[in-house]
Amino acid sequence: MSNIRKYEPFYNKGREKKLAKVEEAYKRFLETKTFEWQPWLYGNPIGKLITVEVEDCPRFGETAYMEMDSARTALMVVDMQTDFCGKGGYVDIMGYSLDPNEPGTTANAIAPIKKVLDCVRKTDISVVHTREGHEPDLSDAPFNKVLRSKIIGNGIGIGDVIPGGGGRLLVRGEPTWDIIPELYPQDGETVIDKAGKGAFLTSAMDLVLKSMGVTHIILCGIITDVCVHSILRELNDCGYWVTLMKDGVGSSDYNNHMAAIKSVKMQGGVFGNVTDSDHIIAAIEAAGLVK
């Protein structure tokens, strides 16, 4: 006797309705190469439609387009903190390069992010920043994470005092934990503090984004293969449309950085899509958004 569950027939109608919408969008994509805005799902646009060119989609060497409503789009800037891209911070203590002119470093991401941030701040696109850090008593810092940080930091780990007056490493409220001055949040921008590489388990990110009405994310920040990729995957799993800005991300290892970008584009965009700062700005300007 089979133990396989036989599902009730009332599931059929809901499935067929969704598949019909997918089929409609699929046929449109074949005609336009565009992931079009879906009014049946999100409602009519309340801002202006932006159409951003994305690369290697659906297959490598091909080009497609992502259509998003400016008023339901957020530029998410991940963990641009001194601890990850500045002197005397975590990445610096671990001995990785902070050369802003070296491709793929965490500091190399600063200029492209600044360029897009300056543009987005003239529009109705929301800006969301994240910061990784722990409570002063380290109650939300897992033992294994703290131990590993101390080993790779040659005796200086999460919660330890940084030589030279930098405060305690990766602890909320300390100087190196905060976002760098070049990209510091402005009045009205959202900051989400998280205790992990990802954000959906250790913060209210999903609740915040849904409360803001966000459906599409332009994602940038650091570290490409760590926090950025963790959040990217979480966003994708929760149904957000994510476009990674490849020149606005950086890592402590160039090969990991490049592999992380490539992995987004596998299987037709298994985690989202990829573009760069120039294409984002061009799309914003073409939509007539810049005030």
Q: Please check whether residue 207 lies inside any domain of the structure.
A: yes
Are 57 and 142 in the same domain? yes
Is there a single domain that holds both residue 52 and residue 150? yes
Q: In this structure, are 109 and 180 located in the same domain? A: yes
Contact in structure between 157 and 146 (CB atoms under 8 Å):
yes
CA distance 75 to 121: 10
Residues 38 and 55 in one domain: no
Helix or strand holding residue 259 (H, E)? helix 254-265
Residue 136 tokens read as: 């002063």
Which one of 83, 220, 227, 247 is the catalytic residue?
Answer: 227
Q: Within a domain: residue 272?
A: yes
Instruction: Dump pLDDT digits (tens) for 18-73.
Output: 999 999 999 999 999 999 999 999 999 999 999 999 999 999 999 999 999 999 99
- 129 has pLDDT over 60: yes
**pLDDT grade, residue 163 (50/70/90)?**
confident
Give the whole-angstrom CA distance, residue 113 versus residue 119: 10
pLDDT for the residue numbered 68: 98
Q: How many domains does the chain have?
A: 2
Tell me whether residue 1 is in a domain.
Answer: no
Q: Residue 65 corresponds to which tokens in the numbers above?
A: 């387009």
Q: Is residue 277, in this structure, part of any structural domain at all? A: yes
pLDDT, position 5:
85
Residue 141 sits in the same domain as residue 216: yes
Q: Both 20 and 67 in a single domain?
A: no
195-252 pLDDT, tens digit each: 999 999 999 999 999 999 999 999 999 999 999 999 999 999 999 999 999 999 999 9
Any domain includes 291? no
Residue 1 has pLDDT above 60, yes or no: no
Whether the Cβ atoms of residue 262 and residue 287 lie closer than 8 Å to each other: no
> Is the same domain home to 168 and 281?
yes
> Domain span at residue 36?
10-44
How many of the other CB atoms lie within 10 Å of CB of 32? 13
Separation CA 148–CA 263 (nearest Å): 26
Mean pLDDT, the chain, as a whole number? 96
Residue 291's pLDDT band, with cuts at 50, 70 and 90, is confident
Banded model confidence at residue 3, pLDDT cuts 50, 70, 90: confident
91 shares its domain with 198: yes
67 and 16 share a domain? no
Same domain, 36 and 171: no
What's the pLDDT at 229?
98
Q: Which of 85, 194, 225, 265 is catalytic?
A: 194
User: pLDDT (tens digit, 9 = 90+) per residue, 72-112?
Assistant: 999 999 999 999 999 999 999 889 999 999 999 999 999 99
Considering 56, 69, 79, 247, which one is annotated as catalytic?
Answer: 79
Does residue 180 form part of some domain? Answer: yes
Dist. CA 209–CA 191, nearest whole Å: 11
The CATH number of the domain holding residue 218 is 3.40.50.850
The tokens 């490409």 sit on which residue?
224
- My answer on whether 33 and 140 are in the same domain is no
What DSSP element (H or E) covers 130? strand 126-132
Q: Is residue 2 part of a domain?
A: no
Tokens of 140: 């939300």
Q: Active site includes 194?
A: yes
